[in-house]
Amino acid sequence: MGKKINIAIDGYSSSGKSSLARSISKEFKMKYIDTGAMYRSITYLLLKNSIDSSNFEESEKKIEQIINDCNIEYNYNNKKNISETILNGARCDEHIRKNYVSEFVSIVSKSKKVRDFMIAKQKEIASNKNIVMDGRDIGTVVIPDAEIKFFIEADLHVRAKRRFEQAQDESLTFNEVVENLKFRDNQDMMRENSPLKKAKDSIVLNNTNINFEELKNQAFNIIRKKNENHN
Ligand code: DC
C-alpha cells in the first residue's frame, strides 16, 4: 500500500464486521482495532467491581474512578490474527465474549463518560493511520475523515445463527441469542451518545444472501480501487 489510509467499519451486532476487518487487516497489512472489545473489557471491569445493570445508573462516580484508574491496552496479534485486550496487566479476552458481558455491554456503552473515554483513545490510535477499526460510531464520530467507510448489514436471523454458532455459553438457546441481538440493536440505535447510524458517505455491504468470501471480495475490490486513486 502506498499512502496510508484509515478504514471505518460500522454495522449491527454479528453482521460480520469483525471478520471482515480481520481479513482486511491481513490482506492490506493494516492494524485492526476492535472497538467492541474495548467496550466489552470496560463492561467486564465494571462487573468485577460489582457494578451491574441494577446499580449502573447510581454508580456514576465509582465508574468514573474505575475508568480513570484502569490501564487498558489493545494489541493485534498478527501471528494468531486475533486482538488481545490487556486489562490492568492481564489478558481478558476469554471473559469478554461471555453472555453475562454481552447482556450488560450495550447499557455500559450508552454512558457518556465511558464513550468519551473510549472515543478519545480510539481517535488517538487512528491518528497514526493505516488502521482498520470496527464498531458502531467509527465512520460518524471516531474517524469521520476515514478514506473508506463500510456499513455492514445482514438480516437479524442470519446474524443470530452466526452468533449462536460462535457462542461460548453452551446453555444459550437460539431464541435467547435473537432476543439479545434485538435488544442490543435497539440500544445501539436509540442511544443519545453516538448512536449506530450510517455515515452519509458510507458504502453499504449487505451480506444476508452472500457468503463471507463474496463480502470480502466486494470490500477488497473497493479498497484496491481507492488505493490506486490515492497513490
Ligand atoms: O461489536 P460487539 O458486539 O463486540 O460490540 C459490543 C457492544 O459494544 C455492542 O453492544 C455495542 C457497543 N459498541 C459501541 O457502542 N460502540 C462501538 N464503537 C463498538 C461497540
pLDDT per residue as tens digits for the range 153-192:
999 999 999 989 877 667 889 999 999 899 889 989 999 9
In a domain, 92, yes or no: yes
In a domain, 1, yes or no: no
Q: Ligand 1 pocket by C-beta < 6 Å: which residues?
A: 13, 35-36, 39-40, 105-106, 109, 135-138, 184, 188
Q: Report pLDDT for 2.
A: 60
In a domain, 171, yes or no: yes
CA 49/CA 87 separation, integer angstroms: 13
Q: Report pLDDT for 75.
A: 79
In a domain, 97, yes or no: yes
In the chain, % of residues over pLDDT 90: 73
List Cα–Cα distances, 161 to 9, 10, 181, 194, in angstroms. 21, 20, 11, 27
Ligand 1: atom nearest CA of 18 is: 1
Q: What is the distance in A from the centroid of ligand 1 to the CA of 129?
A: 22
Q: What is the distance in A from the centroid of ligand 1 to the CA of 36?
A: 4
In a domain, 140, yes or no: yes
Q: Which of 13, 38, 39, 103 to mutate to test the pocket of ligand 1 (most atoms within 8 A of CB)?
A: 39
Whole-prediction pTM: 0.92
Ligand 1: atom nearest CA of 35 is: 19
- Tell me how many domains the chain contains: 1
pLDDT digits (tens, 9 = 90+) for 81-125: 777 889 989 999 989 988 899 889 989 999 999 999 999 999 999
What is the pLDDT of the chain when averaged over all its residues? 91
Is the pLDDT reported for residue 73 higher than 60?
yes
C-alpha cell at 217: 471480495
Which residue has the least CA distance to atom 14 on ligand 1? 136
In a domain, 19, yes or no: yes
Domain limits for position 59: 7-230
C-alpha cell at 214: 463474496
In this structure, what CATH number is given to the domain that contains residue 159? 3.40.50.300
**Kind and range of the H or E run holding 146:** none
In a domain, 91, yes or no: yes
In a domain, 2, yes or no: no
Cβ atoms of 24 and 160 within 8 Å: the answer is no
Per the listing, cell 475490490 goes with 221
Q: Which of 95, 109, 121, 181 to mutate to test the pocket of ligand 1 (most atoms within 8 A of CB)?
A: 109
